[in-house]
Amino acid sequence: MKKTNGQEIIQLFESWSPKKLAAMDNDPIGLHVGNLNKPVTKVLVTLDVNDVVVDEAIAAGCELIIAHHPPIFRKLSTLRTDTPQGKLFEKLIKNDIAVYAAHTNLDVAEGGVNDLLAEALCLQNYEVLVPTYSEEMFKLAVFVPVDQADQLREALAKAGAGQIGNYDSCSYTMQGEGRFRALAGATPFTGEVGELHVEQEVKVEVVVPKSIKSKVLRAMLNSHPYEEPAYDIIPLETAAKEMGLGRIGKLPSSMSLKQFAEHVKVSLQVPAVRVVGDLTSTVSKIAVLGGDGNKYIHTAKRAGADVYVTGDMYFHVAQDAEAIGLQIVDPGHHVESVMKVGVANKMQNLCQLQKLNCEFIPSKISTEPFQFV
């Protein structure tokens, strides 16, 4: 296992949850406090950064905190250390603890907050509720001698080409004849200089998302036996897998709204939920959106959700939901804390794959300000 630093850890984090996935304008994501140019051995993963969480980070010896809610959400006009926020930053800096925030990019990322919530609610075959990002796709078609086709297909798949939904290594192959004449100065893999050569070739086609296009091309050129491989890259109209906020899926078996409310309480570990709807109605299709999902009641209704699970529901929005016949379960905003264990596990696995020596600790501090009496 290798020693690592803040830059490396965040690079790894952003390979999974890149900033480009942010679903709101000027989302204040990235490094908020301190710097990343230092060795990092322990990272605390938290929903919010408050005084108690910083004490937890100090006690555990963490050099870095990864938080879902950005500690500097609105621009600071002063940095006075006689205010609670100023004091917090003072403590972080004095203890050389950096804070990195991943907000809506982590909501959207695969395996991020919304996927974790959908998993916690045991939703099956869930999909994105509010698409916010889809990546441009290309088709790579490359011509290769029959005997070298396997190694080429393997290299393309290893670089990430040919991923369609829950399938990888997807490709299509057609047989044909390649013709070429090597000119003076060439060192042909097959055929003689100056002679027209006919080679049994196949055309291998794979889909390639824009973000890995150069990586895939490099892999193709490295594994291709020819000096001058022939290939086409064609932009596709078909979108890549869409990514976005919220998820919608089915419960393993239908239940009453009342039973579902209990299921939410147990699965998301909350003492109470607010419910809009008929407690005796049968529900099976569930939409869930972490945090404040007021904006998306109509999206959830159009998507055919029997219930929409989201936090911070306003009184009037709850009335609107009732009016359009959408049932609501509001477990509060704090259920996003599922990200603590989810992100810590994901990052621990990514580090293990890269043989980086770093421990990710899910914060044990509840940052829920509400209590039920």
Q: Which residues make up each annotated binding site for a divalent metal cation?
A: 68-69, 107, 333, 336
Using rule CB under 5 A, residue 112 touches Zn ion? no
Residue type, 65: I
Give the interface size with Zn ion as a residue count (CB under 5 A).
2
Tokens of 314: 């306003």
Specify the residue, 106 or 142, whose C-beta has the smaller distance to Zn ion. 106
Residue positions in the annotated binding site? 68-69, 107, 333, 336
Distance in Å, CB of 67 to Zn ion, minimum: 11
Give me the torsion for CA of 13, 90, 37, 61, rounded to 10°.
-70
Tokens of 119: 């998993």
Q: Position of tokens 């917090």?
A: 88
Cα–Cα dist 83/211, whole Å: 43
Q: What secondary structure, in 3-state letters, does 233-270 show?
A: EEEECCCCCCEEEEEEEEEEEEEEHHHHHHHHHHHCCC
Over the Cα atoms of the chain, what is R_g?
26
User: Stretches 178-186, 277-285, 330-338, 344-352: which one binds Zn ion (CB under 5 A)?
Assistant: 330-338
Nearest Cα residue to 133 out of 291, 239, 275: 239
With beta carbons less than 8 A apart as the criterion, state whether 45 and 363 touch.
yes
Which residues contact residue 6 at a Cβ distance below 8 angstroms, ignoring those fewer than 6 apart? 35, 36, 37, 38, 40, 63, 64, 98
Distance in Å, CB of 344 to Zn ion, minimum: 17
Specify the residue, 172 or 314, whose C-beta has the smaller distance to Zn ion. 314
For residue 47, CA distances in Å to 44, 85, 100, 246, 373 come to: 10, 16, 12, 18, 24
Specify the residue, 71 or 291, whose C-beta has the smaller distance to Zn ion. 291
User: Stretches 7-15, 89-97, 320-328, 331-339: which one binds Zn ion (CB under 5 A)?
Assistant: 331-339
Cα–Cα dist 154/144, whole Å: 13
Distance in Å, CB of 245 to Zn ion, minimum: 11
Specify the residue, 112 or 162, whose C-beta has the smaller distance to Zn ion. 112
Specify the residue, 306 or 336, whose C-beta has the smaller distance to Zn ion. 336
Specify the residue, 178 or 291, whose C-beta has the smaller distance to Zn ion. 291
Distance in Å, CB of 72 to Zn ion, minimum: 15
Binders of Zn ion among 241-300, rule CB under 5 A? 291
Distance in Å, CB of 104 to Zn ion, minimum: 9
Specify the residue, 136 or 312, whose C-beta has the smaller distance to Zn ion. 312
Instruction: Find the residue with minimal CB distance to Zn ion.
Output: 291
Specify the residue, 63 or 336, whose C-beta has the smaller distance to Zn ion. 336
User: Stretches 49-57, 150-158, 209-217, 328-336: which one binds Zn ion (CB under 5 A)?
Assistant: 328-336
Distance in Å, CB of 230 to Zn ion, minimum: 50
For residue 116, CA distances in Å to 62, 74, 123, 161, 340 come to: 24, 27, 10, 26, 10
Cα–Cα dist 312/328, whole Å: 11
List of E strands, 70-111:
98-101
Distance in Å, CB of 56 to Zn ion, minimum: 20
With beta carbons less than 8 A apart as the criterion, state whether 337 and 367 touch.
yes
Q: How far is CA 208 from the centre of its chain?
A: 18
Binders of Zn ion among 336-355, rule CB under 5 A? 336
Distance in Å, CB of 131 to Zn ion, minimum: 19
Binding interface with Zn ion (CB under 5 A) = 291, 336
